[in-house]
Amino acid sequence: MVHTAWSSHAKRWVTGLGLAVPLVAMLLYGPLWLWALVVSAAAAVGLWEYETMAQCPALTRWELTFSLAVGAVFSAAAWLFGPAGVLAWAVGAVFALWGKQLARPPLTRDAFQRGLITLGGWFYVAMPLAFVMLLGSLESGRAWVFFVLFVIVSGDVGAYYTGKSLGRRKLYEAVSPKKTVEGALGGLAASAVVGTIFGMLFLRDTGASMAALAAVSIVTELVGQAGDLMESLLKRMAGCKDSSALLPGHGGLLDRLDSLLFAFPTVWVYAQGL
């Protein structure tokens, strides 16, 4: 049993490091057009997992292709036109869905509900991911993106090991049985420390104070934990353990992105106001 648990744990680390190395290289040295391609691809994979969880086996290839194609545009719109592009495409996506529903009868209650599921996917997965582009386009944008990653990853690690050693009280057992209050607090503490240190080292030129960095780190981790619970709720409702089996030891891409989806918009709101 111990060997099996360690094997699973080791597999998570190997997969995580395998993804982290090219990701870090791209974020450090890659042009923004490459960022846009990678984020669009991530949005498409996340939407595929979301649509499969929510709509299989009724989901058709045409519906899936439409959902992925519309969702992938958000990142390109953010790169080319900034916040206005994201908002404009949000409206465009609604009209695209309207046109698709009119072009593909029958116009039934089932079609209405399925369309709303697709719309929810765009605003749950694709639009939040577009904020990677908005954040990266700011002055010191690359450092801000790394700030989000450091805060969320340190929060995940802190929550895991604190919960494993000290966890007693369940955080929300009906949704995520393994999460504990102690783990959540450990994640917040780790994020506050790591985010503040990272900010003082790499974001000094933005004018952010130590207190502000600590506060935004805590808020970002809170949002990240909420995003994690939200995806756990969706999986619970869909009857799935993981969003897919794409990443060994981790489940699906959406299982890795859930904490980040609303963290990027949260930090962008703060950073663009400096």
Residue 33 makes CB contacts below 8 A (sequence gap 6+) with 79
Residue 63 makes CB contacts below 8 A (sequence gap 6+) with 51, 55, 114, 118
Tell me, what's the pLDDT at 247?
82
Q: How many CB atoms lie within 10 A of CB 112?
A: 10
User: 180 exposed, middle or buried (CB, 10 Å; 0-12, 13-18, 19+)?
Assistant: buried
Arithmetic mean of pLDDT, 244-265: 90
Tens digit of each residue's pLDDT (9 = 90 or more) over 41-52: 999 999 999 999
Tell me, what's the pLDDT at 105?
76
Arithmetic mean of pLDDT, 219-230: 97
153 near 145, Cβ under 8 Å? no
Q: Which residue in the block uniquely carries the two structure tokens 């899936």?
A: 64
Residue 1: is its pLDDT beyond 50?
A: no
Q: Which residue in the block uniquely carries the two structure tokens 């869909």?
A: 238
Q: Return the higher-pLDDT residue of 18 and 256.
A: 256
Spatial CA neighbour of 221 closest among 262, 255, 171: 262
Measured in whole angstroms, the distance separating CA 80 from the mean position of its chain's CA atoms is: 21
Tens digit of each residue's pLDDT (9 = 90 or more) over 72-121: 999 999 999 999 999 999 999 999 999 999 988 778 899 899 999 999 99
Residue 162: is its pLDDT beyond 90?
A: yes
Residue 9: is its pLDDT beyond 90?
A: no
Q: Which residue in the block uniquely carries the two structure tokens 């939040």?
A: 128
Residue 200 makes CB contacts below 8 A (sequence gap 6+) with 210, 213
The share of the chain scoring above pLDDT 70, in percent, equals 93
Tens digit of each residue's pLDDT (9 = 90 or more) over 109-152: 998 999 999 999 999 999 999 999 999 999 999 999 999 999 99
Tell me, what's the pLDDT at 2?
46
H-only helix segments in 56-180: 61-103, 109-121, 127-136, 141-166
Distances (CA, A) of 232 to 72, 150, 174, 184, 258: 24, 22, 10, 15, 9
For the chain, give the number of residues. 274
Tell me, what's the pLDDT at 208?
95
Arithmetic mean of pLDDT, 175-191: 95
Tell me, what's the pLDDT at 134?
98
- The pTM score is 0.92
Q: Which residue in the block uniquely carries the two structure tokens 């072009």?
A: 103
Mean pLDDT score across all residues of the chain: 92
